[in-house]
Structure 1
Amino acid sequence: MDAVPSRPGARLIHNEATTEIPVHLLFRDDPDPQPVPLRPAVVNRRQGTGEQPRTRRPVPAKPRAQVDPELVERPARVLPATVGVLAGLCGTAGCLATSWWAGVLSPLAGAALGLPAVAGAGLGPAQWAAYAGAGALGLFGFGGLARGSTGRAWVLGLFGRYRGTVRRTGLMWVNPLLLRRRVDVRLRHWRSEPLCAAEPGGVALRVVVLVVWRVRDTARAVLGVEDHEGYLRECVEAALARVPVEMPGSARASVAGETLTRLVSADAAAVGLEVYSVQPVRVEYAPELAAAMHRRRIAALDAQQRATMLTSVVDSVEDTVTRLTMRGLVELDDYERKVLVRDLTVAFCSGRAGDTVH
């Protein structure tokens, strides 16, 4: 038997690279094979093109908004109001005593205060120094008195450095040299103006959302961002740009609120804000699309109603013909069955149409 002549040569695709496999590896029977180390996936270059091998690099994760990790709320050092009152009274008493010493105090005032009448020494350097010390003590004592209220806090700073937060209520004494910034830490809600959003199909919407939030970390809310209320507003707008919003009444209308709450809460947590709920309270089409979408919704509701009515008519006709035939009340051939079905369909449709109009 003649051997089959081999073809002159199989045509290969240009620049195709092939690899030879040793024959002993094809028939290797190793009961305990060693694992083969895997190398990073590399896309080989095409020969003759000059391209370099390209490795698949992992996609970097989205960076999170962060502030100074050392900027965390901590309680400030305050003293009881008694300390400030005593310091202020001591300063006032010192001013009166200096006036008596200098002879500036009138005899009647001195007698009323129980001070003996003496010849005044005059206003000299010592008297002015006593006035300055007593006045500074009085101003420092009375100037540091502050009253804390429920739901309010003070963020204290000195020369641009955070010195603590005061959440206490009642009368207290705070260093008057510290800069005080009042912060509302009560549970608050914000009803937004109409914001831009979109349906899952890309149709433009105008959405009004209700945000329930509060300041959790006063240091980050006041010092970590320029305006924490404006930052929260921007977070809500950014979340609405990423989350499609359903029209009210749909099955997935509540899913948008849960997703918005999760996104806004994650973005606002970096600046010390705690977001409890972000819920759309009014959803409407954009003004330029409102009329067209209203007609579209009416047409869809009309088509749905017609389909429901047709299904009901067909079921009623089928049930009527089946009962007449099964009970032996009539005997119908194909032509008579078709005529009966047609007449019943017309009668039922006319009755349903009349009920709908009424």
Structure 2
Amino acid sequence: MTLNGGAERARIRTASRIVVKVGSSSLTTPQGTIDVDRVDALVDVLAARRNTGTQIVLVSSGAIAAGLGPLGLPDRPRDLATQQAAASVGQGVLVARYTSSFARYGLRVGQVLLTADDMMRRAHHRNAQRTLSRLLELGIVPVVNENDTVATDEIRFGDNDRLAALVAHLIYADALVLLSDVDALYDGDPRRPGARRLAHVRGPEDLVGVELGRSGRVGTGGMVTKVQAARIATGAGVPVVLTAAAHAAQALAGQDVGTYFHPDGRHPGTRLLWLAHATTGRGRLHLDRGAVEAVVGRRKSLLPAGVTGVEGEFSAGDPVDLCAPLGRVVARGLVNFDAAEIPELLGRSTKELGSSLGPEYERELIHRDDIVILEPYQ
């Protein structure tokens, strides 16, 4: 049974470690330059909460948008190279603005730039966790952004909403607040008469029939990515508030603004959350029905005998998608063999492989501890 709305939102008010994400449109002018007043208004709210003893991690978009004006670009560039150039110019502008604004309250900031690759590779993942934890211990406000300057299409988060949700899980945050130019999640376009604010989302059933809008001019996210981010965070036991940047103070105070996404109470291991949401399959393994039932239904390891095909180029240790007979991705796992080795193993038992190829081949393609289920299979 859930508590009443006020009691639930009290988790935000009493949280000792909070991740706050702010979108590009909440920080910049229509021309793409940093809006000093907007940045200062946000920092006023965050510094007030920080000075009560709460640890704050700010995940901030805006680097590419901040670079548009200095580069004379009228709109967000489409090609990756120009996006990277804009990020290179804009990131310095953005962090300088935060540094100056937080300094008004005697607070220092530390820049942390991450790529999806930093979450995908376990050693990088642990390093990011240690860095953020140490910054918080030292009283620094970490300002996190995707490293757009070097990120490629293959290793991008694509939006800072998902990054913020993963950071919230990474640092064991008590709450995640997603700030944008939309004050809440509505059951339809909020510009249309009759659209109803969803004050609470307790599960997927509350989103049935809800229309999710697209992104704005300078951002990459949209309501779809925010709901996806909320799903990641709540699945890790972290409550989420989605609202407009103008309502940040009320959201952090636990007031009834925006949309409150209820955590489902589960706390999956960092490893599985990382595998499900911070990785992209480098290839595909096609499974027969028996293998799908074993892996998805009974949580068994994936053996070569149940694999019918392999796609892509990948190395041992890479994440690969596991597909049901009709091609639907149902799971993801860390494979124990290179792609070039697998065709010779397909359809054969591990005992047979051990006898003919050597004992190192007498093992599973993917161990069950390295598999995360993405969809139930029926």
TM-score range, shorter chain: under 0.3
| Larger Rg belongs to | 1
The alignment's TM-score, normalised by the length of structure 1, stands at 0.20
Q: Which has the higher contact order (CA 8 A, sep 6+)?
A: 2
The alignment's TM-score, normalised by the length of structure 2, stands at 0.19
